[in-house]
Amino acid sequence: MQSKKSEIWVGCFMLLAIAAIIFLCLKVADLKSIGSQSTYQISASFENIGGLKEGSPIKVGGVVIGRVASITLDKKNYIPEVKIDLLSEYDNIPDSSSLSIRTSGLLGEQYIAMNIGPDDEELGIAILKNGGRLEDTKPAMVLEDLIGQFLYKSGDSQGTEPATE
């Protein structure tokens, strides 16, 4: 009888632990931010997407307004094509806006930062609609490339400066 009670307690404890782990996974994944809200999709091409992943956030001034829906490689030009789901409440974004891939902190996750452009109708600027496209994009900065450039430039400057006496 005693072993049956302890088995029940162990089972309850395990169920509680599994429920807590599932809860934490859902909190970390932040699934509520897009999940049930209506969205519209736009696309953009980048020369280099770095470590950008599906589900990465789209931010304007640090506020999440969408997520990366999919990343594919254009078979004609061999350039990464990114599909973006934007929340429908942000349906007044001009097509003169720009996108750049940035990193949270030094080694953090990558996200797409959107810089809102002017919305002057006289200049022929339209509002993005479902299926729209942003042309002004800036690729991801790859840390290894930056370090290589820094080392290369510092190596050049040592031997090229004239000696002064």
At residue 34, the pLDDT reads 46
Put residue 85 in one of left, alpha, beta given phi > 0 → left and psi -120 to 50 → alpha. Answer: beta
Low-confidence ranges of the chain (pLDDT < 70): 1, 29-36, 143, 154-165
At residue 108, the pLDDT reads 78
At residue 73, the pLDDT reads 93
Which strands sit side by side in the sheet containing 63-73, from one edge to the other? Answer: 132-134, 39-45, 80-87, 63-73, 57-60, 110-115, 98-103, 136-138
